[in-house]
Every structure is written in C-alpha cells, then in structure tokens.
Homo-oligomer: A and B are copies of this chain.
Amino acid sequence: MVALLHVHPTRQADLREPDEPRISPAVPIDEYEDSFGNVCTRFVAPAGNFRLSHSTLVEDSGEPEPVCPQARQVPVEDLPPEILRYLLPSRYCEVDRLVEIAGNLFGGFSPGWPRVQAVCDWVQANVAFGYHFASPTKTAVDVYHDRNGVCRDFQHLAITFCRCLNIPARYATGYLGDIGVPARPPMDFSAWLEVFLHDRWWTFDARNNTPRIGRVLMATGRDAADVAITTSFGTSVLKSFNVVTEEVTTTKAATAE
C-alpha cells in the first residue's frame, strides 16, 4: 500500500511538530520520493483492521494565496523542459478531446493569468457540487457533460482546459481549513490546481475560486491518479475516514519559546 500523507517537501520548513504517519498495528514503513517530488509512505498492510493516521502542526503565513494578474503566460518554447509534461493528457484529463472547446470558450481572454481565471470562473459557474456525484472513474470530459462533481472533478476540468490552452497545470492535494471563510466542518482532503505562469507555480481553485488562508500542500501530480491519498494493490475496504484541520492561534513569540 502506498500512502501520501506527508506534508509536501516545500512546507517542511514550516513544520512545528514531527510529520510522521503512524500505522497500528505497527508495521515497517518505507519512504520514497516519487517522480513528482512527493514523499510517499509505503508498507505492507497488516491483515485485518488497521488504522493509518497522521497529525502535525504547520506554521502558516496567515496570508491568502497571492493573486498576480500580470503573471504572464510562458510561450511553450521557453518553458523549462521538466514543465512540459504538465501539458500532456493524463488519465482524468483528456486534453486531446477538449482542445477545440477550450479554444472556443477561452481564446478570447488575455493569455496568462486572466485566461486561467476565466477557466476557473467558467468551471465554478457551470459545474454543480455534490458528494453524490463522486465517481472514481469520472474524467474531465464526463464533468464537462454532466456539469457536476466533487472537488477533484472541478480541478480536473480546469487543469484540462489550461493544458489545452498550452498553460502547464497540475493537480494538488492537501489540507484546506476554513480560516477566513464561513465555518464549515472540513470533511475530506481538498484538491486544487497549480498553474505555471511567469517562472513559478501558482495556486488556483476551480471550486472555491477565491484565495484562501492556510492551504497545506501534500502532493502534486498530473491528476488524481498520481496522488491518491492511498493506493492499494490488493483488496481493502475503507471503514472510516476522518480529516480535521484546526487553527492554533499562537503568537510567533509564544511558538519560539
């Protein structure tokens, strides 16, 4: 079994508590870095019931994600080579089937940030959210037609549109608390997307579609197939699942003590 539970390496410096997944009953755990730079946990699941858990404390800037409308779209010929794979189709992102549609819908917007924002606006406005719309085989084309889905479906459609427009886009998963938004019990890990503009990856979220405070990135990949929280290579049944994100408001001084 492979699990993606660690906080992403880019947030290691912000950890204020150890970042160690736990399995009970205890079994040996291996760690490795996958081809996307995520830290994966790998173990042979014990027979019978077992519990996989993880808890840590992350210091956050307390600022919402940056918004940078002037971030320019990088011409494909100037993209770093390692970025190019985020333009290709993947399991849930059929770039080859949505190229014409993306061009028609978004070709009229300015390249770069405004075009990405137009993609997110369209997806948020045209797709209905509902947990009963979840399906593990649902692809961007399905979402485009059915016009409904869960968090990951919104992001898959937005990612696919961006790639169709020659804007590198990847899938991100992690914690999203409710800091600064009307209280709502967090019920699951969250998904969002990252888009490469100018010289870096930027956070967008085609479902919430507003900058948020306190996202904690765990993993990125081409789509959800690359960054499942757990991937079982055998039969397993999920009996219970619980995600809690809490804000611990301490002053920096206090933390330093």
Mark A residues whose CB is within 8 Å of B.
2, 30, 32-35, 40, 42-44, 76-77, 81-82, 84-85, 87-91, 93-94, 96-98, 100-101, 126, 131-137, 141, 145-147, 166, 225-226, 231, 233-234
Contacts and interface: CB of A to CB of B under 8 A. Distances in A.
The oligomer's copy count stands at 4
Contacts of A97: 137, 145-146
Contacts of A44: 77
A150 to B, nearest CB: 11
Contact of A132 (B32, B42, B134, B231): B134
Interface SS, A side: mixed
A47 to B, nearest CB: 14
B100 A147 contact: yes
Nearest to A31: B81
A46 to B, nearest CB: 12
Contact of A145 (B89, B91, B98): B98
A13 to B, nearest CB: 24
B135 A145 contact: no
B40 A81 contact: yes
Contact of A226 (B88, B100, B101): B88
Given A2-B84, A34-B85, A166-B233, 6 more contacts: A42-B81, A88-B225, A90-B91, A91-B96, A101-B145, A133-B135
A231 B88 contact: yes
